[in-house]
Amino acid sequence: MMSNIIRHNDIILKKTRRGRILKTVREHYLRTDISNGIGTILDLNADSYLIPDVNTCLYQIDVLESGKVKNVIILQTVLNEARSHNYSLFKRLKILLNRKEKKFFMFSNEHHKDTYVKRMKSESLINRNIRAIQNAAIWYQRTSNQSIPIYLITNDKESQEKSSKMEILSMTIHDYIAKLGIPSLNDLLVTNNLSIDTSAFSNESSSKSKLFTPYWSSIQIKKALAANEVVQGKISIRPGSQKGFVELNNGKRISINSYKYINRSIDGDVVVIQHKDQEGEVVGVVKRNWRIYCGSIDEETEIKNNGSQWVFFVPVDRKIPKIRIRTSQAAELITKRITVAIDSWDINSTTPQGHYISTIGEIGEIETETEVVLREANVPHYEFPEEVMACLPKEDWTISSSELSKRKDYRYSRCVVSVDPPGCKDIDDALHAKLLPNGNLEIGVHIADVTHFVKENSALDAEAAHRSTSVYLVHKRIDMLPKVLTEQLCSLRANVNRLAFSCIWEINPNTLEIISNEFHKSVIRSRAAFTYEQAQNIIDNQNDTSEIAVSLRLLQDLGKKLRKRRFEAGALALASPAVKFGLDTDKNPTDLELYQLRETNSTVEEFMLLANQAASAQMLKMFPHLAVLRRHPPPDSSRFESLLKSLNTRGLSLDVASSKGLNDTLEKIALPGNDYVNTIVRMLVTRCMQQAKYFSSGDRSSDEYYHYGLAMPIYTHFTSPIRRYADVLVHRLLGCTIGIYSLSKGITERENMRKTLSNTNERTRMAQIADRESISLYTLIFFKEKDIIADASVMSVDSKNVQVFIQKYGFSHELTSHENENWTFDEENEILTNNIDENLKLQIFDKIQVRIRVVVGRYHRSRLNVSLVTESRIRNRSTDREISNERPTKKTK
């Protein structure tokens, strides 16, 4: 160790969980070789350097992140304190420090000989830290160029006074932003004089009557929790209402039915609830769930022409209350989608107070609204950062000969092809089949070798793990990996050499017995990249006896047999109808129809299932506690109850005891007169299903590994590493089983794996939500300014609402025009009868006609209005028989 380093000890006294006092002594080295960052990260000729204090970092992070505030020195003292206050903010600060172009520099003042401050006897830690910050400011003033001012940025009056005594230049962040003279930055500022609202307001409350009850102090809450007088839980708000509930650990719900009792908490907050006659009241918020919200300014706001004004911001998420923000650009923002953060919620205010962050775009434009969908689903969709792009190989990358020598070469010896949906650019998988001399088949599934490019622990890997999945929207794709990999180097395109991870079987085509199965890395050269339709045409064309056609036919035959065996074993076929939009060149929807499935779809799917299953078995055999698997828990039978009751009213039934029974009865279910009954029942059954989830095999007992939908004891995802991170993990683990990778800490540490997988599960769920939202966005655009009458079937009926399935467009929707008071609900037979016209009845599987329109509500909330067309309904009833065989006819206005 260098001689210019001084060493001393920090002594920390800690109380253990058992109540003993521990004395910890830690070394603390003070050095003189720490750079001040000027000239390296900070500009040499800056206008000024800023040293923000802790509160500035905590509350004004949005301004700091804006990119306009540069040459900022973050002291170690500040960073440490920010970390103990708010970890997510600390991470944002760290990102700022890592980006060179932001010009944020971290100065380790605690380890510099001249800036270190020893805590004095009876001095509080806060005062000591303030002193440390001031000391560092003085040091900077002394050691740097005198002509450039160094400002201590603090909004604390006391510390400003102290600073001026010590001849430190200080100013508030508000003054600094005013000095910069960029008006848009003003909106990013959190308003002055914030009080942290979780603290008790006990002294204030006695003097005046308040709108809300003050929160209890944390000591009070702790005591009451210990005495079981209050309960803690996450609050959920019903969309569009001022009512909510808290679900407790035991599954019980406590409802909170008034705004006053919700007491300034927001959906997702962890709150403490006190029981008050039949309902609960929030008495404290343990953890806020505030995030950044997308929405718009109330369109009925009166706009002032100059100066700033208070406006109401209405979030898109209907669970979130309006937020009051101050802005000077109301005239400009009124037609825009903007983002806003909540700063505080005053005890006397009906709404929380927040500040503007950014503008997304014009309301109603596809790009803007898609951006809103992505942000609300929390999908990371920013450009890949520089350090991630730095991990990528060059675009002219080719396979080196040393790499080639390590792999099996299938380039010319096997006829590999890929079959995907039209327009697919990220080709994960390719297949081959070869008849062996002994009559058996050699089947190969070749998966893009993503882990060759995405090295563990690289920035690229961290980014992929963070994103976890590619998100498919109607008109675009948000990639998990940069485009070079997704569409070029990893994508198994036709007639280029590509690296692959192959799974090869030798299968007896008659008994379906697997004679051998192995995984290895390979090089392939796909002969052709087909769409499902093209592949099907080649198979069907009996005159075509090319190698590709023969290979495809072998695959299809075997696939059929495998599929049959799988369903015999009890797999479920629950494909709910997917819709497909036809888009014009401007990405506007021109057409909406059901997605056509072809036999080749299921052939490819069959081999992917086989490969996934093989991968899961291989992993579990070698690493019983580390395998990344996917489980699908069986549905809760209580979920089926209401469905079975509804089916019973039509004389139908389902065997829900096992997946096999369910599938067998689903196969047979039908009702004369309505061809869509089977589809509808499958959709309803799907809604009873639970979500499949990734998990690590060490975290669950082996009977929980079961995949209900596929009726497989173990299952995983191996075949789409370009778009799913779980597959990347599986590739790494498989690589370890065959000795080409070594087990790393990221894989072996359970806590680590648990975190990664729970993120993957959450992102997968959010990706589905984004997909759904994107479809409804496009549905709205498609039906906009149209007035369509279409055939539909009733999916479900209860006293409150009626769900209908619109066959032509393949989606289900609630009947909006349906009004409670005009209808009577027969509980037993589940029939709704119209009070005025008693012939007008609605029951499950009834064929009806609906009128589809788009209504634009207040706050730019468009929704689909699907109403019952009554006349046609009466006409249909009288001529039931005639139309029963009729295909749904086109009835556009």
Partner 1 sequence: MSTEFISPSGLRLDGRRPHEIRHIHFQQNLFPKASGSCYFEQGNTKVIVTVYGPREVTRGISLMGRAVINCEYSMATFATGERRPRGKGDRRSMEISQLLQKTLESVVLVEKFPRTQIDVFAHVIQADGGTRCACLNAATLALMDAGIPLKDFVVSCAAGYLDNTPLCDLNFVEDSAGGPDLPIAYLPTSGNVAMIQMDSKVSLDHFENILETAIQGAKQIYSILQRGVEERVKELAKSKGLS
Residues that bind partner 1 (CB under 8 A): 1-2, 5, 7, 9, 16, 20, 22-31, 34, 76, 79, 87, 94, 97-98, 106-108, 110-111, 456-457, 742-745, 748-749
- Do residues 290 and 268 make contact, with C-beta atoms less than 8 angstroms apart? no
Q: How far is the CB of 20 from partner 1 (least distance, A)?
A: 7
Mention every residue, 6+ apart, whose C-beta is less than 8 A from residue 70. Answer: 43, 46, 102, 103
User: Which of 5, 573 has the CB closer to partner 1?
Assistant: 5
Report how far apart, in Å, the C-alpha atoms of 593 and of each of 580, 620, 713, 809, 810 are: 5, 42, 36, 5, 7
End-to-end alpha carbon distance in the chain: 85
Q: Least CB distance from residue 751 to partner 1, whole Å?
A: 9
Q: How far is the CB of 7 from partner 1 (least distance, A)?
A: 5
- When the beta carbons of 637 and 748 are compared against partner 1, the nearer one is 748
CA gap 110, 127 in Å, rounded: 15
Residue 72 CB, nearest distance to partner 1 (Å)? 13
Name the one residue in this structure whose structure tokens are 């950014």: 358
Where helices occur in 649-749 by DSSP H, the ranges are 659-668, 677-688, 725-737, 745-748
Q: Which is nearer to partner 1, 614 or 753 (CB)?
A: 753
Q: How far apart are CA 380 and CA 52, in angstroms?
A: 29
Considering beta carbons, is residue 99 or 841 the nearer one to partner 1?
A: 99
Closest CA to 882 of 614, 671, 673, 593: 673
- Nearer of residues 762 and 798 to partner 1, judged by Cβ: 762
> What is the rounded CA–CA span in Å between residue 764 and residue 379?
10
| Angle (nearest 5°) at CA 642 between 640 and 643 | 60
Of residues 25 and 227, the one with the C-beta less far from partner 1: 25
Closest distance to partner 1 from the beta carbon of 453 (Å): 16
**Smallest distance from partner 1 to CB 385, Å:** 16
How many Å apart are CA 809 and CA 782, to the nearest integer? 11
At 562, the amino acid letter reads L
CA 738 – CA 518 distance, rounded (Å): 9
Residues 697, 626: contact at Cβ < 8 Å? yes
Residues facing 802 on adjacent strands: 797
Q: Where are the beta strands (DSSP E) in 623-729?
A: 628-631, 693-696
- Smallest separation, CB 1 to partner 1 (Å): 5
Check if the beta carbon of residue 375 is closer than 8 Å to that of residue 471.
no
DSSP SS3 for 815: coil
Nearer to partner 1, 240 or 739 (CB): 739
Looking at the Cβ atoms of 80 and 776, the one nearer to partner 1 is 80
Nearer to partner 1, 31 or 288 (CB): 31
Name the minimum Å distance from CB 37 to partner 1. 9
CA atoms within 13 A on the CB side of 291: 15
Smallest distance from partner 1 to CB 731, Å? 16
CA-atom Rg of the chain in angstroms:
32
Min CB(741)–partner 1 separation in Å = 8
Q: Please state, in angstroms and rounded to a whole number, the distance separating the CA atoms of residues 413 and 695.
A: 38
Query: Which of 9, 199 has the CB closer to partner 1?
Result: 9
Task: Please say whether the beta carbons of 795 and 807 come within 8 A.
Answer: no
Cβ proximity to partner 1: between 30 and 494 the closer is: 30
Residue 79 CB, shortest distance to partner 1, in Å, is 8
Closest residue by Cα to residue 14 from 29, 28, 26: 26
